[in-house]
Amino acid sequence: MSGFNKVVNSYEEAMAGLEDGMTVIAGGFGLCGIPENLIKQIRTMGTKDLTIVSNNCGIDDFGLGILLVDRQIKKMISSYVGENALFEKQLLAGELEVELTPQGTLAEKMRAGGAGIPAFYTATGYGTPVGDGKEVRAFNGRHYIMEESITGDFAIVKGWKADTYGNVVYRDTAQNFNPMAATAGKITVVEVEEIVEPGELNPSEIHTPGIYVNRVIKGTFEKRIEQRTVRQG
């Protein structure tokens, strides 16, 4: 990476510096908008004892689920994990630490981390196991629990388009957790379908400003559909 040009030409370069024991924040929702090739690169590197922060953990043979095969994930912070049999097996066997977090709270943890806010209060989870052991305060007669924000050593993100300065545009529902994740990494890596020159993106359509992005790479994507439903003929 030289100056404002954040484009890298290999996935090895994109994930350079990732080490055992680090925390990785991953964008995506289900299999929609996931940084699938960056995840594959983590598997190739064999990095272990990772804490992964993401809405879910993919499926058995795709997305973050492939990192469970060789037990590269030590801890998973997520809100939905119901589509992965291997995840369930490792959880029940005590081989995987899991911190279940309400979906909106998880999104705000990422956003707050990226904004430099160390903690916030939310009513979600009060009076449930989610709130056990957490600070409680009352505001206007309603109870709230304190949640700490999240930052990661790396954030891996899937975008639609980016310019060489790292400004990113997401496409439709593939936006999901990606903008929040992009702000919360010490090193943020974005893989996209198209890279354009500065000035080609409409400034009003940019979702993630390049100030948050360290590396950009162009990839080719499978875009697997998690649950395919078709109309009966």
Q: Indicate the SS3 state at residue 94.
A: coil
Pairwise CA distance, residues 97 & 136, whole Å: 25
Task: Label residue 3 by pLDDT band (50, 70, 90).
Answer: low
Pairwise CA distance, residues 42 & 200, whole Å: 31
Instruction: Classify residue 136: in a domain, yes or no.
Output: no
Q: Is pLDDT of 227 > 80?
A: no
pLDDT at res. 217: 98
The C-alpha angle 72, 90, 11, rounded to 5 degrees, equals 25
Whole-model pTM? 0.93
Instruction: Classify residue 6: in a domain, yes or no.
Output: no
Give the domain extent around 65.
16-118+149-218
> Domain holding 202: CATH number?
3.40.1080.10
- E strand segments, 27-65: 50-53
Q: Is pLDDT of 219 > 70?
A: yes
Structural domains in the chain (count): 1
Instruction: Classify residue 96: in a domain, yes or no.
Output: yes
**C-alpha distances out from residue 82 to 15, 53, 86, 222, Å:** 28, 16, 10, 22
pLDDT digits (tens, 9 = 90+) for 41-64: 999 999 999 999 999 999 888 999
3-class SS string, 126-178? CCCHHHCCCCEEEECCEEEEEEECCCEEEEEEECCEEECCCCEECCHHHCCCH
Instruction: Classify residue 4: in a domain, yes or no.
Output: no
β 185-192/215-218 pair status: parallel
Instruction: Classify residue 90: in a domain, yes or no.
Output: yes
pLDDT at res. 230: 85
Instruction: Classify residue 212: in a domain, yes or no.
Output: yes
The tokens for 63 are 């997305």
> To which H or E segment does residue 26 belong?
strand 23-26
pLDDT at res. 228: 78
Instruction: Classify residue 126: in a domain, yes or no.
Output: no
In whole angstroms, what separates CA 144 from the centre of its chain?
Answer: 26
pLDDT digits (tens, 9 = 90+) for 135-189: 999 999 999 999 999 999 999 999 999 999 999 999 999 999 999 999 999 999 9
Burial of 77 (0-12, 13-18, 19+ CB in 10 A): buried
The tokens for 100 are 């279940």
Instruction: Classify residue 63: in a domain, yes or no.
Output: yes
